[in-house]
Amino acid sequence: MTRMPITNTPKTASIEDAQLVGRTLALAFDDDPMMRWFFPDDASRESGLTRYFTTLFTRQYAQHGVCERTDAAAAFWVSPEGKDKAVPDAETIQELQDILGDRAALFRDAVEAAAGHSPTEPHWYLAVIGADPATQGQGHGSALLRSGLAKADAAGLPVYLESSKASNLPVYEHFGFTVLGEARLPGGGPEIWAMRRDARPPSDV
């Protein structure tokens, strides 16, 4: 039987894609310093990350964000219109705390610290993007990044993100992002870098 090719064409991610999205992002973030800090146990990290990203997707970003996927990557964006609604509600927070267990307090402190540095100007926010490492070099992450940036450019708005992996900074810089600053998460956590990209004419993405 011939296997279907894995396509890197972006498409809207629906609730029906939750299992694929959660699993894909769990694989993508397995070596991410921040996620390894939140999920330090090697044996349970993959299942914890799958639950974590599935919860974020189904309860938060799929409801109030712009979510896209390929066959091996996913991205969650928040537009200016969805900013206030995309904040997790009490039930979502409780579910995330249950998933994080004894790391929940560290997670809460990190979220609060990040919220204190949220830009006030209208902008698009790249909350999550990741691709299955097994498909590295096939353009899945780049396709999703271009798709989201095109939406921000069409609106004439800048884009913000935070990266917790130093090796990703050159990738974002290639797409026009610049580092605004870096900080260490509360409680002795890893460093994160805040980045911003000005709007460009659509043809420049």
Q: What is the dihedral of CA 127, 33, 134, 196, to 10 degrees?
A: 40
Give every strand in the sheet of 159-163, ordered side by side: 11-12, 66-69, 73-78, 124-131, 159-163, 191-197, 178-184
Is there a contact between 19 and 54 (Cβ–Cβ < 8 Å)?
Answer: yes
pLDDT tens digits along 122-131: 999 999 999 9
Label residue 202 by pLDDT band (50, 70, 90).
low
Neighbours of 74 (CB within 10 A): 29
Label residue 204 by pLDDT band (50, 70, 90).
low
Mean pLDDT across the chain: 91
Asked, for residue 117, whether it belongs to a domain, the answer is: yes
By percentage, how much of the chain surpasses pLDDT 90? 75
Asked, for residue 136, whether it belongs to a domain, the answer is: yes
Asked, for residue 70, whether it belongs to a domain, the answer is: yes
Neighbours of 80 (CB within 10 A): 14
Label residue 21 by pLDDT band (50, 70, 90).
very high
Q: What is the dihedral of CA 59, 132, 80, 201, to 10 degrees?
A: -160
Residue with tokens 């914890």: 48
Residue 172 corresponds to which tokens in the numbers above?
Answer: 């974002």
**C-alpha span between 74 and 134 (Å, rounded):** 14
Tally of domains within the chain: 1
Asked, for residue 5, whether it belongs to a domain, the answer is: no
Label residue 108 by pLDDT band (50, 70, 90).
confident
**C-alpha span between 118 and 123 (Å, rounded):** 10
Higher pLDDT, 177 or 93: 177
Asked, for residue 40, whether it belongs to a domain, the answer is: yes
Range of the domain at 183: 11-204
By percentage, how much of the chain surpasses pLDDT 70? 95
Q: Which helix (H) or strand (E) holds 96?
A: helix 90-100
Asked, for residue 4, whether it belongs to a domain, the answer is: no
Determine the pLDDT at residue 205.
56
pLDDT tens digits along 43-96: 999 999 999 999 999 999 999 999 999 999 999 999 999 887 777 788 888 999
DSSP state of 61: I
What CATH code is carried by the domain that includes residue 46?
Answer: 3.40.630.30
**C-alpha span between 108 and 112 (Å, rounded):** 6
Is there a contact between 6 and 71 (Cβ–Cβ < 8 Å)?
Answer: yes
Asked, for residue 15, whether it belongs to a domain, the answer is: yes
Judged against a pLDDT cut of 50, whether residue 19 lies above it is answered with yes
Determine the pLDDT at residue 203.
62
Asked, for residue 150, whether it belongs to a domain, the answer is: yes
Judged against a pLDDT cut of 80, whether residue 193 lies above it is answered with yes
**At how many degrees (to 10) do helices 104-115 and 90-100 cross?**
130
User: Which has the minimum average pLDDT: 3-17, 46-60, 158-172?
Assistant: 3-17
